[in-house]
């Protein structure tokens, strides 16, 4: 009986020792896997966005600036320029400068009720029906904020305030042109800014 007990104790200690020896390796493997996943996610976030992957649209878009104020709302302070440079972005580290025919307007309600979400959704639906694809949604990226502060682009003077906005940006690719559209919303000013840039893309 004593011999059996001793043998069992030795075997048990051996199993515990093996498990303890394996645990660091398992932890190391787990950490390596996690680091690989983090690296992949980091590469995805900084990878240059290929706008060429957005399919070309053949839908009829009508006349510039292509979008209209939904029922119950109106465009005001409309401004058009033959050429203007504007920033569009894909994530926090990538900003694209786009040059082309430019339009900007502020959208106000005609009556007493202003519904930010409703208005944004109505304009987004218009853009998507034209073939536009949403390329960004969120607050102003840090990289874009830095560029605006240092370069002071002209288009910023058309905006209520570029910093606190929520942005939705769209790209409509056509055979000989790219149409970039931006909706800026989320202010406490009962308004939305709409900007359109038509970029000549003839080869």
Asked if the model's pLDDT at residue 43 lies above 60, the reply is no
What is the value of pTM for the model shown?
A: 0.75
Do residues 130 and 59 make contact, with C-beta atoms less than 8 angstroms apart? yes
- Domain carrying residue 3: 1-47
pLDDT tens digits, one per residue of 110-132: 999 999 999 999 999 999 999 99
How far is it, in rounded angstroms, from Cα 86 to Cα 184?
Answer: 14
Asked if the model's pLDDT at residue 105 lies above 70, the reply is yes
Both 1 and 34 in one domain: the answer is: yes
| Interacting residues of 157 by C-beta distance below 8 A, sequence separation 6+ | none
Both 19 and 115 in one domain: the answer is: no
- The pLDDT of residue 188: 78
Q: Please indicate, yes or no, if residue 52 is contained in any of the structural domains.
A: no
Q: Please indicate, yes or no, if residue 144 is contained in any of the structural domains.
A: yes
- The pLDDT of residue 25: 52
- The pLDDT of residue 187: 80
Q: How confident is the model at residue 47 (pLDDT cuts 50, 70, 90)?
A: low
Both 115 and 162 in one domain: the answer is: yes
Question: Mean pLDDT across the stretch 100-109?
Answer: 97
Both 127 and 42 in one domain: the answer is: no
Asked if the model's pLDDT at residue 17 lies above 60, the reply is no
Q: Name the DSSP letter for residue 176.
A: S
Task: Indicate the range of 55-69, 88-102, 119-133 predicted with least confidence.
Answer: 88-102
- The pLDDT of residue 27: 53
How far, CA to CA in Å, does 148 sit from each of 20, 87, 157, 188?
56, 9, 11, 22
Q: Which residue has the higher pLDDT, 121 or 29?
A: 121
For the chain, the average pLDDT equals 82
Question: Mean pLDDT across the stretch 144-152?
Answer: 92
Both 22 and 89 in one domain: the answer is: no
Domain count, the chain: 2
Q: Which residue has the higher pLDDT, 42 or 124?
A: 124
Asked if the model's pLDDT at residue 46 lies above 60, the reply is no
Q: How confident is the model at residue 39 (pLDDT cuts 50, 70, 90)?
A: very low
How far, CA to CA in Å, does 105 sit from each of 52, 77, 201?
28, 6, 24
Both 14 and 83 in one domain: the answer is: no
């Amino acid at each position: 009986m004593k011999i059996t007990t001793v043998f069992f104790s030795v075997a048990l200690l051996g199993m515990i020792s093996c498990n303890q020896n394996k645990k660091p390796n398992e932890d190391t493997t787990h950490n390596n896997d996690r680091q690989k996943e983090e690296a992949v996610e980091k590469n995805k976030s900084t990878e240059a966005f290929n706008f060429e992957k957005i399919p070309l649209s053949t839908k009829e878009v009508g006349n510039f600036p292509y979008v209209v104020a939904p029922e119950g709302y109106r465009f005001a302070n409309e401004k058009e320029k033959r050429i203007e440079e504007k920033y569009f972005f894909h994530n926090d580290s990538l900003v694209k400068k786009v040059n082309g025919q430019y339009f900007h307007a502020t959208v106000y309600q005609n009556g007493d009720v202003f519904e930010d979400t409703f208005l944004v959704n109505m304009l987004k639906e218009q853009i998507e029906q034209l073939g536009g694809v949403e390329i960004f949604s969120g607050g102003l990226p840090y990289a874009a904020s830095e560029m605006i502060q240092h370069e002071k682009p002209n288009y910023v003077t058309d905006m209520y305030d570029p910093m606190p906005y929520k942005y939705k940006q769209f790209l409509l690719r056509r055979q000989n042109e790219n149409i970039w559209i931006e909706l800026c919303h989320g202010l406490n000013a009962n308004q939305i800014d709409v900007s359109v840039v038509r970029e000549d893309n003839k080869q």
